[in-house]
Structure 1
């Protein structure tokens, strides 16, 4: 093994005799001495690089966690926004397929398919399955009911609402009305229509649902829903505790003071005005009469029975009827003839109703004298002869209410004008009844009848001189003139 030479083995860099020795001032050098001008400060002398590294790692972890939370929140917000857009686009279950809580009360669970017969569909369109159809015409009708939201019930539900149809409220030519109650406690009236397959019954059903389904007014009976099923066709209305107005006017066992009768007249006028002028599409009722004005617990009037009603455009238009509509004694003259018919036919019927409200009797009573037989004509003759106050007194109106009764009769005379264009709008009728406008003296509504009577008398007088000619044409049937129809209207009223 090689060894260092002797001269290097004894080498000492700090030996002063060594030519290569380090000077004394450097041999005693201490970098941390306080006398050293190049001394390292104390704060750096205690520096720990590993502790600084741990601190930096901790902040990096915290930053990563915060970033992850922010990203998660952003993803959740995006998902919720997408769901909300889908709901607005109609991809969720439509409200029509659930029972409305404001009608049915609190519902603790989502109704099953057995409870709601209408399947999921486009919002606001009541669609039914093929097994429930009576025909394609009815299906097309139901599919057009956009924007309307009556609830569709099953026969089983109606059976439960009415306790198996145990309480009958009344009946008519087209159906029977039963008392019922929703699970939430609200009372209803269920009208079950007869002969589901009959075209007249189907027409009445379509008229009621298409018109009442579009309306909501305090003076109109509310249609809650309907049932259209091979087993049953029915309509579900709000329940009216006091029945119809005719029971208070004509039966004599329930009296209403004049002030309340006036309120009933005004409320009924407001309901009809809403049908004519405030609906998105106007509605002609065609059958205004006391039997179709129902009263709730507070005697608030509500127009009902839209089985003859028809939609019409708000623009001036005329409909030509192919058959008579309405009730004899209340129907306007134009309904008896093949001529143009407008919403003014309802104004005429309402005028007849006003005569009955003031007189508290049927507008026509064949048992009375010729003068008093028909209230509208009797009223006109008293107005013409300045005897209206005596007539009102005869009707039993109290002294403090006679001025209002006089106003009501004058409004009625305007409503029953022969020419439809001479009758006021129902909104004007409301103002007239409330005293908001001055009422001008009405024209004679029955001038056409007087002319017709004179004409008939003249013809009878002339025919007496030609009896031989008449006897030779016994098979001849004269064509009925419009004026003859008007006379017929008065006779059967």
Structure 2
């Protein structure tokens, strides 16, 4: 009897213990499930407002490196978007600071329609989310909610190149040696996009405002709102609308000509002119002969009067060789016919001095007597490592031709003003 009495309390104790364990496990599972649900809801609370194609895109991108932030996280980091860094056609940029001390630039996208915003968002995230290069701005993450579409980039202490070339800057004046390194770094970044990425990326909007400078004034190519991914085998790109900034956009972007990655090469050449002169290529405040800088530069180069250039641009004698090299590379880049422009890896080698820069033919002859039809087969072979870069089988045409307005010189040379 005493044995049975002793075993009863033991049995009851075991039962109570089992019940307690089961209850605890149930509570843990409930809490974990709740947290998982909250986490999912936090990012998908507005899924009913997001098209299925965008949902799939976001899921794909979450498997890449960028972090998906919430609107609340970005509002906290930016102090409710109170520190404005700048704005442009594709968005407004604010400075942010995360709790771990990382400074960021948060670009809030804007546009005339949700579809346009989504296109900008996908263009930037799909390109920058998959690229990793020293001369490309780094994308930390993104936010895509009904109330906020934003991109989170690394913060560039020294801002954009245009602020140092054209505008009164309170920061240090960049010497020509540093400008040369900025040009070289920019070329390396574009070369990576064109020739080293798994899919070729065409930027379409290379200009000083889209070249950012870090604390050491190293160049980082930024703003991929117009960028387009394309297979490396495709020699032509289908265009559904005009791209680029007037003054930097290649002729094929606004004329019925084939479009390829060579449009970025043209824009880079126009950028080189502005770096050399520390001025905009078009300046209506100057005398007619100097209003469009590239034509003036060609005249000095053709007449072997580069000393005039050195004086006007206040370039020191020690930089003479580098300036002449940059100038010759720029003339190669802005050739009218895309197939006679070098690929960016060749541009890099020429700027580095590893390849001799050939004497260029007049890139602006088409402005005076129609398009120059000089046989460019030798240039094509040199620029494209032995073969033509495109064929005539896939021509993208546009129906809109830019209407030229402005000064008599601008109308004469079909020049459009670059936007600020």
- Which TM-score tier does this pair reach, normalised by the shorter chain? 0.7 to 0.9
Of 65, 70, 91, 1:154 maps to 70
Distance 2:265 2:164 in 1: 22
Map of 2:312 onto structure 1: 394
Map of 1:490 onto structure 2: 414
Q: Measure how far apart 1:339 and its partner are.
A: 2.7
Matches within 5 A, 1:246-285: 246-253=162-169, 254=171, 255-285=173-203
Range moving further from structure 2, 354-363 or 445-454: 445-454
Deviations 1:339-397 (A, max 9, x none): 32100000000000000001000011122222211111111111111112321332111
Distance 2:312 2:112 in 1: 48
Deviations 1:162-195 (A, max 9, x none): 1222212122233221111122111001111236
Distance 2:328 2:38 in 1: 53
Of 393, 412, 417, 2:330 maps to 412
Q: Any conservation in 1 of the 2:185–2:219 contact (CA below 8 Å)?
A: yes
- Taking a change above 3 Å as real, the CA distance of residues 176 and 484 of structure 1, as seen in their structure-2 partners, is closer
Map of 2:251 onto structure 1: 333
Q: Any conservation in 1 of the 2:334–2:341 contact (CA below 8 Å)?
A: yes
Q: Determine if the alignment matches structure 1 residue 206 to structure 2 residue 130.
A: no
Partner SS, residue 233 of structure 1: strand
RCO greater where, 1 or 2, for CA within 8 Å and sep 6 or more?
Answer: 2
Partner SS, residue 302 of structure 1: strand
Matched residue pairs, number?
350
Q: Any conservation in 1 of the 2:46–2:145 contact (CA below 8 Å)?
A: no
Q: Any conservation in 2 of the 1:133–1:139 contact (CA below 8 Å)?
A: no
Q: Determine if the alignment matches structure 1 residue 383 to structure 2 residue 301.
A: yes
Distance 1:438 1:115 in 2: 61
- Taking a change above 3 Å as real, the CA distance of residues 391 and 151 of structure 1, as seen in their structure-2 partners, is same
Distance 1:417 1:453 in 2: 10
Root mean square deviation, CA, Å: 2.7
Q: Any conservation in 1 of the 2:365–2:371 contact (CA below 8 Å)?
A: no
Deviations 1:278-308 (A, max 9, x none): 1010100000000000011111110000000
Range moving further from structure 2, 318-327 or 345-354: 318-327
Matches within 5 A, 1:469-484: none
Distance 1:207 1:446 in 2: 33
Deviations 1:68-126 (A, max 9, x none): xxxxxxxxxxxxxxxxxxxxxxxxxxxxxxxxxxxxxxxxxxxx65995589xxxxxxx
Partner SS, residue 265 of structure 1: helix
Of 83, 86, 101, 1:167 maps to 83
Map of 2:212 onto structure 1: 294
Q: Any conservation in 1 of the 2:367–2:413 contact (CA below 8 Å)?
A: no
Distance 1:385 1:115 in 2: 72
The normalised TM-score by structure 2 is 0.77
Map of 1:319 onto structure 2: 237
Q: Any conservation in 2 of the 1:116–1:154 contact (CA below 8 Å)?
A: no
Distance 2:400 2:130 in 1: 40
- Taking a change above 3 Å as real, the CA distance of residues 186 and 330 of structure 1, as seen in their structure-2 partners, is same
Distance 2:415 2:181 in 1: 31
Q: Any conservation in 1 of the 2:91–2:107 contact (CA below 8 Å)?
A: yes
Q: Measure how far apart 1:451 and its partner are.
A: 0.7
Distance 2:111 2:411 in 1: 36
Matches within 5 A, 1:20-419: 128=44, 131=47, 133-145=49-61, 148-194=64-110, 198-253=114-169, 254=171, 255-419=173-337
Q: Measure how far apart 1:137 and its partner are.
A: 2.9
